[in-house]
Amino acid sequence: MIDCKLLLAGLGGQGVVFLSRLISQAALLNGDSFITYESHGMAMRGGSVTSQVKIGNYRSPLIGRGQADLLLVLAAPEYLRNRHLLQENGQALINSPLAARLLPARDCCAATEIAVKNGLPQAANLVFAGWLAEHPAFPYDFTLLCETVRSLASPPPLEAANLKALDLGRRSGAKSTPPGR
């Protein structure tokens, strides 16, 4: 059984909540116990949004200071706001190539740029998810995330776009992930 505490952080409109639901649904399909919590800073597009997903046997969804195994960041400034929740040996994975100045390059993804370049500007969160699936610290693989997207019963054109976004992220992650995953 997987035991992982994930904190997702971004800005309103980036798909943080959808990404946390995708991860939760993947846990469900994988037979893992999970619990989630969402926090919306400002009730408008652009406000700070966090979501906490605990995979494993937990009673409370809240992640306290120094407890998160993974900090998944869709907007780089949110890393600074939320890094205190990351445990000492935890990892931050960030949607920003510029974050490579602070973190190892393998922990940074250009999901927004990839999504825009490929005509999917609203799917940066799914590009990020595909990239995460190739990262050794992330608990679920690409195949399970694709199965999860298919289980969401989206209209066929939306499902196809979502799967394309996942694949774009996977391909970018495969280029930066060390062998062994």
DSSP code per residue over 90-154: EEEEEE-GGGGGTS-GGGEE-HHHHHHHTT-GGGHHHHHHHHHHTSTTSSS-HHHHHHHHHHT--
Assigned domain for 130 exists: yes
Q: Residue 173's pLDDT is what? A: 83
Is the per-residue pLDDT at 174 higher than 90? no
Residue-wise pLDDT for 92-148, tens only, equals 999 998 877 778 888 999 999 999 999 999 999 999 999 999 999 999 999 999 999
Overall average pLDDT of the 79-95 stretch? 95
- Evaluate whether 39 touches 61 at the Cβ level (below 8 Å): no
Do the Cβ atoms of 16 and 77 come closer than 8 Å?
no
Q: What per-residue confidence (pLDDT) applies to 175?
A: 58
Of all residues in the chain, the percent with pLDDT exceeding 70 is 92
pLDDT at 145: 98
We report the CATH number of the domain holding residue 148 as 3.40.920.10
The stretch 154-180 carries a mean pLDDT of 84
Residue 181 lies in a domain: no
Residue 86 belongs to what domain range?
Answer: 4-175
Q: Residue 66 — φ and ψ, nearest 5°?
A: 70, 25
pLDDT at position 24, please?
97
Least-confidence region, from 94-103, 148-157, 172-181: 172-181
Q: How many domains does the chain have?
A: 1
